[in-house]
Structure 1
Amino acid sequence: MCPLAVTFFLSRGHSSVAFFALLAICLGLIVYFYINNARALPRWYFAILLAMRVLIVVVLLLFIFEPALIFKRLFTRAPRLLVLVDTSASMSHADPGTGPRIELAKTNLRHSGFLGKLEEQFDISLFRFGATAKPISYGDLRTLQADEEATNLPGACKASLDSARHRGGQVAGIILLTDGIDNSGKRPIEEIAGLGVPVHPIAFGSRLEEDKDFKNVAITNVEHDDFVPKDNTTEIKVLVDAQGYGTRPVRVILRDKQKDKELASQELVLDTQKGAQRVVLKFTPAEIGRIDGEIEIPKLEDENRVGDNRKPITINVTGPRIKVLYIEGVLRAEGKWLMRALQTDPNVDLLYLVKSQEGHFLQRGTVKGISLSNIPTNLETWKRFDVIVLGDVHSSLFTRNQMLDLKEAILDGRGLLLLGGVGALGPGKYAGTPLEDVSPVWFGPANIGQENGEFSWELTDDGEVNPIFTNITQFFPRRGGVAEVPIQKLAGCTRVGAAKPVASVLAVHPAAKGPDGKPLTVVAVANIGNGRSMLVTADTTHRWYLPNSALGREQPFIKLWGQAIRWLASEEVKRDDKPGLTAYTDKGEYEPGEPVRLLAIVRDLQGQATSDASVYVSIIGPSRERTKHDVPKVGGRLGQYELKLTPQTFGPHEAIFEARLGDQPLGKPQSVQFTIGKPDLEMAELSLNEKLLKEIADRTGGTYCSWLNLKDLAAALAADQERRTEPVKFPLHNTPLFFAFFIAMAAVEWYMRKRIQLA
């Protein structure tokens, strides 16, 4: 609050001495005439009459001499005006006819008289700014360089205002010398308006696109999958916009920045049409890990802007997940628990079809890009899966062509798992069909029947060494022996014919015989062409699941089917099935203000995907500041967790992920690095953002102008401040209050005198 100087003034030009002298004479006469009556009146009555007569005389004199009070604002020091000079890299751009923007700004500050005019009324504080504001002296203007990598208009305004208020005094406003290019990712208009001071933008630069000789090729957008399985081809869609180059060809390149290696490229012939063109790059990653790359178009001759010739891209290459199609003809317990086992396997993508009514199947689970409501009807769809599982599905649900296509897919390298059931195998009338050609055994006639008694299958010599039974042989007896760790018996199986010569029988019934007089085959496998085939005639292996669940992923049900699927998919690489988590970000580089996606895939103590864990991530910024966040689970995606957040600081960041199940940690913390702000971001857009600067001025009560009118702005601000110090006159006579007061006092005094009969 600024103090005020108060002056007494007589409007008619009379001397103040004369006014106060006459006032003193009048007061003396009043006291003289009333003193004679003082003894006859009560003291309080006399005091009231005397005071009222004095007030009446004072008001009369005010009417006659017309006095006034003059108020003038006194500043203990001039209000502070903050002058911010944009030193971001875009200010180094040389506009036609004016040269580099930063040099133009420096010249106007040092030689135009702009600062001198402002200093007549303000205390000037100078700042340079890019990502934030830093105080400078007048002498520093000579050596200023436009070398900041980003521009944060709201952050710079706030930082300079905080600095000024910390020093004390009134802040009259902020002057911004800038091209208006803001890449903070924030809402600059709303945030600057919320500071509560007028902001006066002074514009430097021009609209490059309005130049008839403007030339540019820009990558406007890149679309791609964040996660790509190893050895799978992914498509990267790139939008390119060009101006001034006619129909010339350019190369669009995907490059690994860390290895400086070209990964894919595609030629694009530019056109003259308005709007972006689309080009598709195809890339097949050969190594698991994260690729921090960029899409780029090499600089063309005479190109006015090169910062938008590239965009960052991050691809997380994962181990190839096994795509499984599981078809069931009826709802049954075996299908329910097998589906659950495959869904919780972190290395399997499952699409489960179960028949709900004639000719229609319900789909559960997801495999990206595939949606089915019936059994596949062409070879291409069968080939999109690595393993096909046929449960209790009657042959009448297939056409012969569908069976031929499935057979071709198996011969081409896919895996086939055939399960027992009342409507499967022989009882399902598969004998003589193309599927019998790719089975390890002959199915037998439709009346071959079922074995209904409880039993425990016995491993053969081949079974003991086959990878399908790795680490679970202790649960099953050998021929004529007993199991080391006995488990629940199975409730029968489907009878089949003899094993084919190409088959390996892994397990047999302990008592039942097959048509060839040999022990009845229960589990058999075979290599079929380039593919693999497996038969399991039992349909109650789910009996092992709940009683042995304490063993987690090491229990026989999970282990058997997981290893069977991997064998059928010809998967030779051991996958990660240990407790813990795998952490990712969707990118390696983010623009300021762009949300960062933090992702984790979590496995429980048994190595199964779980959504019951608590997942946390600690973000460590460039200054080693640390913040901790909960990472929520993703609905409908077992074991997947995701958090989106927007760090407010530029530079390298580290995300440290942790997962716990109750009080138990799941594996070791995982660290992922990412960066906010790219070195070329500042030069991606060089045109003056006149619209933004005008809106900032309008919302804050400031004034927008071009650098050409810089002196006019200084004069207007100085004149406005001078008007704020002009005196304010307050008349003491020309108000209804004084007149009403005079009448009231006169009437009351007359009444009191009349009451005691004074003359």
Structure 2
Amino acid sequence: MLHFQEHLLLPLAILILLIAITLLVYRRTTPALAPLTRTSLTLLRILAILLLALVLVRPLLGLNYVSKMRPKIAVLLDNSASMKLKYGNLPRSSLEDSILSSGVWKELSHRAQVEFYSFSDTLRPTKPGQLDFSGNSTSLSNALLKLQKISPQLSAAVIITDGGNNSGPDPVTSAGQLDFPIYSIGVGSEEIPADLAIADLKYPPEVYLGRPVTIELSISNTGLAEQKLSFAVSEAGKTVTSKGIRVSASGQKTSVKIDIEPQTEGVHHYQVSLPHLEGEMNYQNNQRKFSLKVQKSKLKILCLAGNLTWEYHFLKKFLEEEESFEKHYVVSDQVKPLQDAFPANLAQLSSHDLLVLVNPSLGLLSGKEQILDDYVLKQGRTILLILDNNFLFRPPARLKLQMLPFDPAKMTPSYLQFNFNFQEPAYANPILRLSEDPQENARIWQDLPPFLGALLTTGANPQAKVLAGFQPDDGGPLYPVLLTQEFGKGKVMTSLAFPFWRWDFLLTGLGKESQAYSKFWSNAIRWLTSQKAGKGLELTTDAMVYKAGEKVNFEAAYRDELGENETGGVLKVTVKKVSSTVQREVAMLPNSEKEYIGSLNYLEPGDYVAEAAYSIDGKITGKARHEFQIEEYSLEDQTLTMNRQLLTQMAEVSGGKFYTIQDYRDLPKDLDLKEKKVEKQKSWEVWNQPGILVFALFLLSLEWFLRKRQQLP
């Protein structure tokens, strides 16, 4: 069939015109030509014109035909680590080898083209005898879908496996989407084997120095009687603690708790081990690893209240709900202690990371000026001042506190209702960011109950940063009511608006969300106690220890001088095993929170280190390093029996059949192997043949030669 790639109207008109001119030219010539010569020259030119026109219209010559294809069978061989588990006295891999060495495949090769693939986490071409059974995870679905993509004309797929599946989509659903039937051959026993395993391990990833941490284990027992045994927790090969337990009878799980107490800061790597019992199918799941990140201590907060007020009550309620805080309280009625006493010296006060002063009177602070100043300026600690008119009660003649961001002598109380007036959008400051959505953040601030008063000052420290102010209705000056300032090594935040407790009380009473109160104070404490590290890069993973075969998720953030995340540079993250020099790069993509996320799959067991570098305009501005572990315990260690149900369902939904090790030799007679008729099309670009152009030039040259022989111009 002939097709043209250009419109024919214009070329056809030009062709007719050129042929007409040729006929006209050779109708009468000087000198006159013999009829045969005239006819020959006319035909030579017309034929050359036709060939050139053929090139211009770019015709395609298509040929449709039917081709017969020999049937093709794909044989998928399970290469996962679970194939090393025993079936009787032999590993499952031996059963797979015996199936491959049978005469079934020779018989099938006479009737069809047979291709072999190995699979675990992915699909690869292979040959029998080349398997190493090292895959730490299995995805039947990914293997089948990839097979259909690379070999769409299959007659059937035969899969030899124990039916273990621990990653990827649902294989039954995927099997139902295939264009070919699946014939599954199951290897392994369906009987529950004798096995003792640590099925689950729970522990807090971050703990505090000097405090015991509870590790909870779930021990499963299959095929073994109830018995007494002991397990041990070790670090760097040395036993940290051990405990005797009684393991429940077969088919039950035993929950066990044990306490350990790390003695130093940093990351500690531990291993929990159960004894190897005679007759167990798998010893690999008798030990598990875990890591603890040990921090110096909880954040120690000393809260000093000038009297028992609702402000103190609600703030104490918030502090008590935070498990990461170690709280101490001092309550005084003006100058008389009601609960405990203020630290007697700087050493006692410096044992606390943050001092919160709630409505203290000036008299309560009198005589403690030097301790408070040194606490901030020299010790690098922080103070949160929450003040109301009680602060001005019985003021002493002089109060010399360098760390105050205002002058107490230049203060007057106001009892007008107002809401914060921000110097810049509230979302721009991390303390005022009550929501990560700027519009939602603005809405939350608008809905908050108004303050009932404030301490107005005209003596704010020029170095203080005003976060919010009070703007009188008469258009007077903006009075600062929420201030922060860094003094020496420390920080101070002061609130001169009151009361805050109405945020929690009124919103709760109206049935609205009251998280704004706790979020605000959490932000304030986080800013006060954060280190002044400036810009920097941080790299973490979502766990410190992974099972072999699990996905490792990475998260990175680069912060500028203000502590804000930015994603304008280039981030490169590489991962390598500590015992190897081979590196793998992690593709990191920015998310909506201006952080980078990425992942790696199927790392082999061992200790790993991830290194990150952040660069702006080709210059590295931040580096980070993070360590994690892949334990020997694998997802494959959970595949103790053959999954007949899964393999049967996959075969049935695809139109195939399930076989056991006893009846797989029936496979050749069950396969319907017929030659496939495939309709094909072949096309030639007639215009793109060099011979046509050469022949056209030859015809024109021959015409020119004959014309000269006849003495024509």
TM-score using structure 2 length: 0.56
> Which residue does 1:157 correspond to in 2?
144
Alignment gaps of 5+ in structure 2: 1-64, 381-390, 410-454, 468-482, 494-528, 576-581, 678-713
Distance 1:541 1:242 in 2: 74
Confirm or deny: 8 A CA contact 2:194 2:280 kept in the other structure. yes
Q: Does residue 1:355 correspond to 2:310, yes or no? A: yes
* Residues 416 and 585 (structure 1), Cα distance of their counterparts in 2 relative to 1, 3 Å cut: closer
1:334-369, Cα deviation, whole Å (9 max, x unpaired): xxxxxxxxxxxxxxxxxxx98259x76674468643
Distance 2:619 2:361 in 1: 45
Confirm or deny: 8 A CA contact 2:378 2:489 kept in the other structure. no
Pick the aligned partner of 2:295 from 318, 342, 367.
318
Distance 1:629 1:692 in 2: 36
- Which of the two has higher C-alpha Rg? 1
Post-superposition offset of 1:299:
1.7
Pick the aligned partner of 1:232 from 192, 208, 211.
211
Confirm or deny: 8 A CA contact 1:85 1:177 kept in the other structure. yes
Pick the aligned partner of 1:469 from 377, 381, 392.
377
Pick the aligned partner of 2:124 from 130, 134, 139.
134
* Residues 361 and 605 (structure 1), Cα distance of their counterparts in 2 relative to 1, 3 Å cut: closer
Post-superposition offset of 1:303:
1.8
> Which AA in structure 1 matches 2:667?
L
Confirm or deny: 8 A CA contact 2:75 2:157 kept in the other structure. yes
> Which residue does 1:183 correspond to in 2?
166
Q: Does residue 1:218 correspond to 2:197, yes or no? A: yes
> Which AA in structure 1 matches 2:662?
L
Pick the aligned partner of 1:580 from 527, 536, 543.
536
* Residues 646 and 231 (structure 1), Cα distance of their counterparts in 2 relative to 1, 3 Å cut: same
What are the residue-to-residue correspondences of 1:627-666 with 2, within 5 Å?
A: 627-630=587-590, 633=593, 647-651=600-604
Confirm or deny: 8 A CA contact 2:161 2:185 kept in the other structure. yes
The worse-fitting range, judged by mean Cα deviation, of 611-620 and 100-109 is 611-620
Q: Secondary structure at the match of 1:189?
A: helix
Q: Secondary structure at the match of 1:624?
A: strand
Confirm or deny: 8 A CA contact 1:605 1:666 kept in the other structure. no
* Residues 506 and 79 (structure 1), Cα distance of their counterparts in 2 relative to 1, 3 Å cut: same
> Which residue does 1:708 correspond to in 2?
662
Distance 1:252 1:498 in 2: 66
Post-superposition offset of 1:199:
2.0
1:237-287, Cα deviation, whole Å (9 max, x unpaired): 21112234444333333334xx33434433322123853222223233333
Confirm or deny: 8 A CA contact 1:114 1:714 kept in the other structure. yes
> Which residue does 1:204 correspond to in 2?
187
Confirm or deny: 8 A CA contact 2:304 2:358 kept in the other structure. no
> Which residue does 1:56 correspond to in 2?
none
Q: Does residue 1:107 correspond to 2:90, yes or no? A: no
Confirm or deny: 8 A CA contact 2:197 2:220 kept in the other structure. yes
> Quick one: higher RCO (CA 8 Å, sep 6+), 1 or 2?
2
> Which residue does 2:637 correspond to in 1?
683
> Which AA in structure 2 matches 1:547?
A
**How many residues were matched structurally?**
497
> Which residue does 1:12 correspond to in 2?
none
Post-superposition offset of 1:542:
10
Q: Does residue 1:121 correspond to 2:111, yes or no? A: yes
Pick the aligned partner of 1:305 from 272, 279, 282.
282
* Residues 690 and 645 (structure 1), Cα distance of their counterparts in 2 relative to 1, 3 Å cut: farther
> Which residue does 2:689 correspond to in 1?
none
Distance 2:394 2:157 in 1: 86
* Residues 131 and 593 (structure 1), Cα distance of their counterparts in 2 relative to 1, 3 Å cut: closer
Post-superposition offset of 1:202:
0.5
> Which residue does 1:51 correspond to in 2?
none
Post-superposition offset of 1:203:
0.3
* Residues 154 and 312 (structure 1), Cα distance of their counterparts in 2 relative to 1, 3 Å cut: farther
> Which AA in structure 2 matches 1:250?
L
1:143-181, Cα deviation, whole Å (9 max, x unpaired): 75544444333343345555545xxxx211211111111
Distance 2:614 2:408 in 1: 49
Q: Does residue 1:547 correspond to 2:464, yes or no? A: yes
The worse-fitting range, judged by mean Cα deviation, of 198-207 and 115-124 is 115-124
Distance 1:274 1:103 in 2: 28
Distance 1:135 1:511 in 2: 81
Q: Secondary structure at the match of 1:695?
A: helix
* Residues 586 and 625 (structure 1), Cα distance of their counterparts in 2 relative to 1, 3 Å cut: closer
> Which residue does 1:605 correspond to in 2?
561
Pick the aligned partner of 2:673 from 721, 736, 742.
721
Confirm or deny: 8 A CA contact 1:394 1:423 kept in the other structure. no
1:433-459, Cα deviation, whole Å (9 max, x unpaired): xxxxxx9969xxxxxxxxxxxxxx8x7
Confirm or deny: 8 A CA contact 2:70 2:112 kept in the other structure. yes
Distance 1:722 1:497 in 2: 107
Post-superposition offset of 1:125:
0.8
Distance 2:627 2:228 in 1: 37
Pick the aligned partner of 1:173 from 156, 165, 186.
156
Q: Secondary structure at the match of 1:265?
A: strand
Post-superposition offset of 1:127:
2.4
Distance 2:138 2:121 in 1: 5
Distance 1:264 1:175 in 2: 50
* Residues 617 and 597 (structure 1), Cα distance of their counterparts in 2 relative to 1, 3 Å cut: farther
Q: Secondary structure at the match of 1:276?
A: strand
Q: Secondary structure at the match of 1:76?
A: strand
Distance 1:247 1:602 in 2: 54
Confirm or deny: 8 A CA contact 1:329 1:355 kept in the other structure. no
Distance 2:250 2:156 in 1: 46
> Which residue does 2:546 correspond to in 1?
590
What are the residue-to-residue correspondences of 1:609-628 with 2, within 5 Å?
A: 610=563, 613-614=566-567, 618-620=572-574, 624-628=584-588
Confirm or deny: 8 A CA contact 1:581 1:666 kept in the other structure. no
TM-score using structure 1 length: 0.53
* Residues 286 and 605 (structure 1), Cα distance of their counterparts in 2 relative to 1, 3 Å cut: farther
1:717-758, Cα deviation, whole Å (9 max, x unpaired): 0xx224989xxxxxxxxxxxxxxxxxxxxxxxxxxxxxxxxx
Q: Secondary structure at the match of 1:712?
A: helix
* Residues 75 and 676 (structure 1), Cα distance of their counterparts in 2 relative to 1, 3 Å cut: farther
> Which residue does 2:626 correspond to in 1?
672
Distance 1:675 1:685 in 2: 22
Distance 1:542 1:712 in 2: 96
Q: Does residue 1:694 correspond to 2:686, yes or no? A: no
Distance 1:186 1:318 in 2: 39
Confirm or deny: 8 A CA contact 1:315 1:586 kept in the other structure. no
Confirm or deny: 8 A CA contact 2:78 2:160 kept in the other structure. yes
Pick the aligned partner of 1:385 from 309, 326, 329.
326
* Residues 251 and 327 (structure 1), Cα distance of their counterparts in 2 relative to 1, 3 Å cut: farther
Q: Secondary structure at the match of 1:118?
A: helix
What are the residue-to-residue correspondences of 1:1-400 with 2, within 5 Å?
A: 76-96=68-88, 99-111=90-102, 113-137=103-127, 140-141=128-129, 145-164=132-151, 170-184=153-167, 186-209=169-192, 214-256=193-235, 259-272=236-249, 275-324=252-301, 326=303, 355=310, 363-364=317-318, 368-369=322-323, 385=326, 388=329, 394=333
Q: State percent identity of aligned pairs.
A: 19
Distance 2:289 2:132 in 1: 27
Post-superposition offset of 1:558:
7.5
Distance 2:173 2:140 in 1: 11
* Residues 673 and 362 (structure 1), Cα distance of their counterparts in 2 relative to 1, 3 Å cut: closer
> Which residue does 1:47 correspond to in 2?
none
Confirm or deny: 8 A CA contact 1:102 1:145 kept in the other structure. no
